[in-house]
Amino acid sequence: MANVTIHPARKVQGEISVPGDKSISHRALFLGALARGTTRITQGLDAADCRTTARALEDLGVEIRREKGAVLVEGRGGKFSKPQRELEMGNSGTTTRLLLGILAGQPFGATLKGDPSLSARPMGRVTEPLSAMGAQVGGPNGKDRLPLTIQGGALRGIRYALPVPSAQVKSALLLAGLFAQGPTTVVEPAVTRDHTERILKRFGADLAVEGTAVTVRPGAKLKGQDLRIPGDISSAAFFLAAAAIVPDSRVTVSGVGLNPTRTGFLELLKRMGAKIEMTCHDAVHEEWEPTGNVSVSFSPLAGIVVEKPFIPAVIDELPIFLTVATQAKGQTVVRGAGELRVKETDRIRSMVSGLTALGAKIRSEGETITVEGPTPLKGAGVDSLGDHRTAMALGVAGLAAQGPTTVRGSEWVEISFPGFFETLKGLARR
Ligand code: S3P
């Protein structure tokens, strides 16, 4: 296991770009594989989770190659080959759930397995509706946990109201819908990231969005595309947060994705009183993903309340948001954040224990997290608990602490952001 030691920063300063968006990179690989012709992906994320997707697709007969800084995917026109071995999902929930959707439409059986963290995460949310569409899914631990074997085939379109807001489940069903008889409609209880809708349109799918209902109709021919992936706003959030909590700081992240379903963290920072400047290069309503530059400068922050309907807009940024809340004046309350308990680790538990070790006043009860601030943090040993975003959120807390902070299990950042701690240290002035 690797450790990283973070020293307190006098200020955090600089302009950076961040690796490609993880959600969009996965989808670019999947859609490239589903389409006809070649898809050329530039600035895609090259990290463990996306490599898991690429490897699984290769096991399904997809040719993927690297050429002059681009990744080229040779589309199979929706028809894959039966894999010769079990498909390894590693730590990646997005790979697993989206791939289950695609495999539901394939006329062969395939088995998916994952690491211990992924094998403890709920899969029934996708396997139940896929079964309702006609796929056969099961495994030694039932339908809700990996390992799972899925036998796809003739699917029927369904109308399905998601019991929990989840872009992964929505995406799995829309991808399965490409192979179904008749339309498939997914109704969301709250808005979640819409990357699948955008990329399906870009590839030429027959897709309609009406309020909270998304409908895909089968039959359209998907065509390979040339895709440039924006920087990941969820990765940028760590550095923007650092600038928001360390006095005298200013950080700019350029070329970052500004899809409105992903910028919730910036809204929360603004509500707390952070100084944010944003320039968006493209119209946000365009079919592809809008990008731009975001700068955050330090200013004193105040605690806020985040209610349940807002949770999907900041689901991946909640760990770093809790770090920020320790430095805001007064009480910050996050309600309805139960989905955090079924991420790569129970992120309520991992963040409450890590920030408590650093001296923060933070507590949780069920789905509610309460933070009292501002607390002067004191450097200590903390643990990623095998979770990339916990490792990064605690690392940023270390910049605002007195004395050194050691993050155990720092190698988990490889899941979404190789080189994270080097970038963080490059911005920190001691
Ligand atoms: C993702 C959706 C979210 C998010 C995850 C990526 C996606 O998960 O937390 O990091 O790419 O669709 P849920 O769908 O489980 O909320």
Query: Which tens digit of pLDDT belongs to each residue from 111-156?
Result: 999 999 999 999 999 999 999 999 999 999 999 999 999 999 999 9
Q: What is the pLDDT of residue 385?
A: 98
Section 278-299 average pLDDT: 88
Beta bridge partners of 4: 407
Residue with tokens 């992964």: 168
What's the topology of domain 22-228? Answer: UDP-n-acetylglucosamine1-carboxyvinyl-transferase; Chain (3.65.10)
pLDDT at 95: 99
Whether the per-residue pLDDT at 286 is higher than 80: the answer is no
Residue 422: predicted pLDDT: 98
pLDDT at 285 over 80: no
d(CA 34, CA 171): 14
- Chain mean pLDDT for the chain: 97
SS3 assignment, position 213: strand
Examine the pLDDT at 288 and tell me if it is beyond 90.
Answer: no
User: Ligand 1 centre and the CA of 25: distance in Å?
Assistant: 13
Measured CA to CA, the distance from residue 111 to residue 88 in angstroms comes to 9
Q: How confident is the model at residue 282 (pLDDT cuts 50, 70, 90)?
A: confident
Length of the chain: 430
Atom from ligand 1 closest to the CA of residue 339: 16
Q: What is the DSSP letter of 341?
A: G
Indicate which residues carry an active-site annotation. 316
- pTM tops 0.85, yes or no: yes
Direct distance between the N- and C-terminal alpha carbons of the chain, in angstroms, rounded to an integer? 27
Of the ranges 162-171, 262-271, 279-288, which one carries the lowest mean pLDDT score? 279-288
* Model confidence pLDDT, tens digit, residues 332-384: 999 999 999 999 999 999 999 999 999 999 999 999 999 999 999 999 999 99
Report the 10 Å Cβ neighbour count for 209.
Answer: 11
Give 385 Cα–ligand 1 centroid separation in angstroms.
Answer: 19
pLDDT in tens, 197-206: 999 999 999 9
Band the pLDDT of 281: cuts 50, 70, 90: confident
Query: What are the two backbone dihedrals, phi and then psi, of residue 234, each rounded to the nearest 5 degrees?
Result: -70, -30
Nearest to 271 by CA among 333, 315, 339: 333
Measured distance CA(36)–CA(222) in Å, rounded: 6
Domain with CATH 3.65.10.10 in the chain: 3-19+230-429, 22-228
pLDDT of residue 280: 87
Nearest to 170 by CA among 117, 125, 231: 125
Give the pLDDT confidence score for residue 417 in this predicted structure.
98
**DSSP type of residue 223:** B
- Cis status of the peptide bond prior to 319, with omega within 30 of 0: no
Q: Which atom of ligand 1 is nearest to the CA of 342?
A: 15
Q: How far is CA 79 from CA 27, 60, 76, 133, 312, in A?
A: 17, 9, 6, 19, 33
How far apart CA 422 and CA 401 sit, in angstroms, is 18
CB 396 within 8 A of CB 321: no
Q: Does CATH number 3.90.870.10 belong to domain 3-19+230-429?
A: no
Question: What distance in angstroms lies between residue 166's CA and the mean position of ligand 1's atoms?
Answer: 6
Q: Is 315 in the pocket of ligand 1 (CB under 6 A)?
A: yes
Question: What is the percent of the chain with per-residue pLDDT over 90, rounded to a whole number?
Answer: 98
Please check whether residue 420 is in contact with residue 392, taking contact to mean a CB–CB distance below 8 angstroms: yes
Q: For tokens 């992924």, what's the residue?
A: 118
Element (H, E) at 193: none
pLDDT at 287 over 80: no
Determine if ligand 1 sits within 6 Å of the CB of residue 23: yes
C-beta 175 within 6 A of ligand 1: no
Spacing, Cα 192 to ligand 1 middle (Å): 9
Tell me the pLDDT tens digit for each residue of 68-89: 999 999 999 999 999 999 999 9
Does 284 have pLDDT greater than 70?
no
| Residue 236 Cβ contacting ligand 1 at under 6 Å | no
In the predicted model, is pLDDT for residue 283 greater than 90? no
Half-sphere exposure (CA, 13 Å, Cβ side) for 35? 25
Mean pLDDT of 213-230: 97
- What is the 8-class DSSP label of residue 338? G
pLDDT digits (tens, 9 = 90+) for 27-53: 999 999 999 999 999 999 999 999 999
Which residues contact residue 369 at a Cβ distance below 8 angstroms, ignoring those fewer than 6 apart?
A: 322, 333, 334, 337, 348, 351, 352, 362, 363
Binding site membership of 28 for ligand 1 (Cβ less than 6 Å): no
CA distance 207 to 34: 16
167 CB within 6 A, ligand 1? yes
Helix crossing, 167-177 with 93-103: angle to 10°? Answer: 20
State the DSSP string of 282-320: S-TTSSS--EEEEEEE----B--EE-GGGGGGGTTTHHH
**Average pLDDT estimate for 269-294:** 90
Cβ within 8 Å of residue 252, ≥6 positions away = 14, 15, 16, 293, 294, 295
Q: Is pLDDT larger for residue 267 or for residue 280?
A: 267
In whole angstroms, what is the distance from residue 79 CA to residue 254 CA? Answer: 38
User: Rounded to the nearest whole angstrom, what is the distance from the C-alpha of residue 402 to the centroid of ligand 1?
Assistant: 34
> In the chain, pLDDT over 70 holds for what percent of residues?
99
Nearest alpha carbon, ligand 1 atom 4: 316
Q: Is the CB of 53 under 6 A from ligand 1?
A: no
Count of H helices and E strands in the chain? 13, 28
- Longest Cα separation, the chain: 61
